[in-house]
Structure 1
Amino acid sequence: MNGKFLLFLFSIFLASFVVFDSALASTIIFSDGFESDFSEWTGNDVKWATSGTSSATGVHGGLKRAQATGATDPGDDVLLKSVPTVGYQGIKLEFWHRIYKGLESEDHVYVEWTPDGSNWNVLDDFTTVGESANWQFTSYNLPAEADNKDNFAFRFRAHLGAASSDIFYLDDVVLSGDSQNAQTTLAPTSAPTSTPLLSPAPSPVITASPTPSPSVRPTPSPSPVSEATPTPVPSPVKLSVSSTPVPTAIKARIAPSTAPALIVEENTAKEFREESAEDGSLSASLSNLMGSNSFLLMGLMVLAVVSSLAKFRGS
């Protein structure tokens, strides 16, 4: 069960207990210490009397007490009090008593009550009791039949045998009850608001985040390294020059200004081709050079022409 709900119920119970306890506090309906003899009582027979004494054990309170002394024959001697209990419940009868002279089995002091004034009920019977040096307190809770009665009454009825040898002391008699009017006129009391208990905040639950699966990243393929195309190294040109050049007939047509030079160049080229035909390596080298670098080829050709011309002129 929830602790807050239990606390709420307990608060209501406690508040109700306090209210009803104060409302139902016992009220004294009747009390007497016999200081005024039997003026407060409804009736008393001759064997009941009041007596004062200076002895500390002679009375319980005040200066006087009541006492019953034998013999009570031919009948019983009664001390009676009629008092309505209208408006009261939980009737309680209390008093102090002392057996001054012992009571034998044939001796009796009855404590009785009636709800209607005629039908008597025995609360107690003091009999076969030895002497007592001290006062004793006695209390009775009467049944519900004694509540709220117009003709309620109680009495002490003494039936004692021997004269002056059976003596019963009585003092400070009180009849009380709880007031019904106070209970019926109670206004409803609002229950106190229960203070909620502070519950500790729940500790945060740490939820483990799922470990992400490692992503497989493809290893990049290495970029192909471009291989540098080696620059072909030109093979050295081997020029084979015949030591004895074969004279070639030059048919030159002399043209004005530049004609002789052109004829010489043509013959020189022809001679160069003829010499190159004899040496296959020169043709191959020139062919390779022609494919790789035209400028180099042209330079070599010019060089070859110049060289051939020089040789030709020298011869």
Structure 2
Amino acid sequence: MAVLLVLGSVVSLQFGAAFASQLFGQIGAPGATALRLGIAALMLAVVVRPKFRQETLVLGMTMAGMNGTFYLALERIPLGVAVTIEFLGPLGLAAVLSRRGRDFVWVGLALLGVVVLGVREYTGAHLDLIGVLLALLAAAFWACYVLAGRKLATEGLGTGGLAGASLVAAALTLPYGLSTAGVTLFEPKVLLLGTLVALLASAIPYTLEIRALKTLPANTFGVVLALEPAAAALAGAVLLGQHLGVVSLCAIAVVVTAGVGAALRTAPAPRGKRARQDADLVLPVPQ
């Protein structure tokens, strides 16, 4: 049951990203970022009282950078490709922190898959280089987000700290979103779609993952999480008509394999107080 919860979180997150890309034509990527983070922050603030400390500020900054650069990348490259490239961030961080040689092999395998994606053609045209660079920047922000989230969790700030960080991220992205989208940001149809994105990409994944982590070992969680690039490719094909070629799909499969291989080498999830801290850490699902 717990595995199904995480799988549901992964699918919900990527379909949320696909719906977000449909906002780009109306309010642009900055507007979509501000709308998603703003509505999600309000949802969290209603559920739990926000806490503000240095850790929440740092986490909020990484969330703003991660989501902002990822959505900018989605304006230029397919969803499945963007998520695959972004996945290098946490995968590379895991290898660095573990300091085991075999973990770097998994990172190298994932990097090979990303390189193949970068040089192959997508629907007859080469991938946009700026889009690829933005996805790589989002990967770096994702790695920083993991470190910042771990710090927040170990300080005992929990979901209150997450709510505070979400408000910080919303405050950082709102000015740019307003400057590019203007009053269109508050049109009923745009707000409705933005609320759907906030639910699919934030509220639902957070809820499913926190429930799953009560019983799910860390390595099993990592294996399911490694399916994100595949789920993104599926969401892109179903909702956006982004049909990848055989070579690109094989490259994504290589990255997924690397993620699964790295996750299988992680230690089992801890129990007790530390387990609850880890659960709080994963609440802010990336993207």
TM-score (norm 1): 0.21
- Higher share of residues assigned strand: 1
Q: With CA pairs under 8 Å and 6+ residues apart, which has the higher RCO, 1 or 2?
A: 2
- Higher share of residues assigned helix: 2
